[in-house]
DNA sequence: TCCGGATATTAGACAAAGTCCAGATCGACG
DNA sequence: CGTCGATCTGGACTTTGTCTAATATCCGGA
C-alpha cells in the first residue's frame, strides 16, 4: 500500500480529521518516508513543494495528529521533539552522536517487575529508549 | 549521611571536579533535596541564598556534572530537562498532568527480548519512562 | 449563484530554554 | 604582592514552540 496524497485523505478522515491541503501534505511528509521527523524537518519537507505552509499550521497540525492518535511523540533529545508515524507498540533506539532514531518492535520485548502504580493513576504509555553510541 | 556543603566539596573532588563556591551550592541544591530539578529550578534555589550565581554558570556546571557522571539527565518533558542526583540504576514515573517525576528502583525490573544492537554500537543507557495520568 | 458561519491558515510578535563570548574575578603559588 | 590559568559573569543571541488577530477557505441553504 502506497502513501499517496489521495490515500492520505482517507487516512485523515478515518481519524476524524478534516483533510485539508496542508494536512495532506504534512501527513504525506511523515508517512511516505516512514521516519521520525521533527517539526522543522516537516516544515522543510512540506515547503520544498510549491505551496508554502506556515510554521503555525505545521505546529497546529502536528498537535492535532497527536490528539487524534495519528502519530506519536518521541522525546529523546532535549532540543526537539520527534513525530513518529508508527503508532503500533514499539520502542526506540537512539544513536546519541548522530541523532538517528529507529524503531524496536515491541513484540518480543517484555518489561516485568514494575511496581504497582500509585492509587488513582492509569498508565498512559511506557517509553523505552535504548541510547547507543558508536565504539571508538 | 547528610549533604552538608562541606561534604559536597569531597563529593566533587571524588568526581574530579574542582570544588568552587558556585559548584558547591549547585551540588548542594541537587543533593540535599533528593529531587529532580530543572536548570531554572536549580538557579532559583541557588539564588535564594546570598551570593548570586549566573545563568551561564548554572548551565555550565550542570553540563560539567553530567560529563563527570555526578548527575543524570532525564528527558521527559519537551520543554525542559531535569537533572537527577540519583545515578544508581533506576527508571522514572512521570505524572503527565502535574509534571511530577519520581524514581522507580531498577532492582526488580527486568527488560528482556531486546534485539541485538547494530554492529559497532554499545549501549550508553536504557531509559524507561512510565507515563501516568490521574483517572477522572 | 450568493451569503453566512464555521473551520482553517497565516504572518509576525512573543516566550522560554539554552548557548556563546569577551571581559572581569578568583585563588593558588612563587 | 603579582602572575596566570581557571572560573564566573552579564548580556546578546539562537532555537523551538506558542499566541493572536486578521484573512482565507469551505460548505450548506435560499
Contact of B53 with B22, CB cutoff 8 Å = yes
Kindly report, residue by residue over B57-111, the tens digit of the pLDDT. 999 999 999 999 999 999 999 998 999 999 999 999 999 888 889 999 999 999 9
What would the CATH number be for the domain defined by B5-83?
A: 1.10.10.10
Interface list for B 3-22 with A (CB within 8 A)? none
For chain B, the distance separating the N- and C-terminal CA atoms, rounded to the nearest angstrom, is 41
A5-84 CATH:
1.10.10.10
Share of chain B above pLDDT 70, in %: 99
Residue of B nearest to A79 (CA): B78
What is the predicted pLDDT for the residue at B49? 72
- Proximity of residue A81 CB to strand D below 7 A: yes
What are the distances in angstroms from CA B90 to CA A63, A66, B74, B85, B107? 31, 29, 11, 12, 8
**A92-113 burial: b if 16+ Cβ within 10 Å, else e:** bbbbeeeeebebbeeeebebee
Among all chains, which residue has been given the C-alpha cell 505524572? B95
The per-residue pLDDT for range B109-129, each reduced to its tens digit, is 999 999 999 999 999 999 999
Q: ∠B59-B63-B65 over CA atoms, to 5°? A: 115
- Rounded to a whole number of angstroms, the distance from the CA of A43 to the nearest CA of chain B is 19
For residue B117, what is the nearest residue in chain A, using CA coordinates? A132
pLDDT digits (tens, 9 = 90+) for A37-95: 999 999 999 998 777 899 999 999 999 999 999 999 999 999 999 999 999 999 999 99
Nearest Cα residue to A75 out of B94, B13, B116: B94
ipTM for the complex shown: 0.88
Amino acid at each position: 500500500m502506497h502513501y499517496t496524497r489521495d490515500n492520505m485523505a482517507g487516512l485523515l478522515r478515518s481519524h476524524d480529521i478534516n483533510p485539508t491541503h496542508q494536512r495532506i501534505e504534512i501527513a504525506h511528509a511523515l508517512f511516505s518516508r516512514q521516519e521520525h521527523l521533527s517539526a522543522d524537518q516537516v516544515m522543510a519537507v512540506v515547503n520544498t513543494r510549491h505551496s508554502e505552509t506556515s510554521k503555525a499550521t505545521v505546529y497546529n497540525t502536528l498537535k492535532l495528529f497527536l490528539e487524534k492518535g495519528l502519530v506519536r511523540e518521541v522525546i529523546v533529545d532535549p532540543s526537539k521533539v520527534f513525530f513518529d508515524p508508527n503508532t503500533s507498540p514499539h520502542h526506540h533506539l537512539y544513536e546519541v552522536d548522530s541523532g538517528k532514531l529507529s524503531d524496536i518492535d515491541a513484540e518480543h520485548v517484555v518489561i516485568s517487575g514494575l511496581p504497582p502504580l500509585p492509587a488513582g493513576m492509569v498508565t498512559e504509555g511506557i517509553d523505552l529508549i535504548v541510547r547507543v553510541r558508536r565504539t571508538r
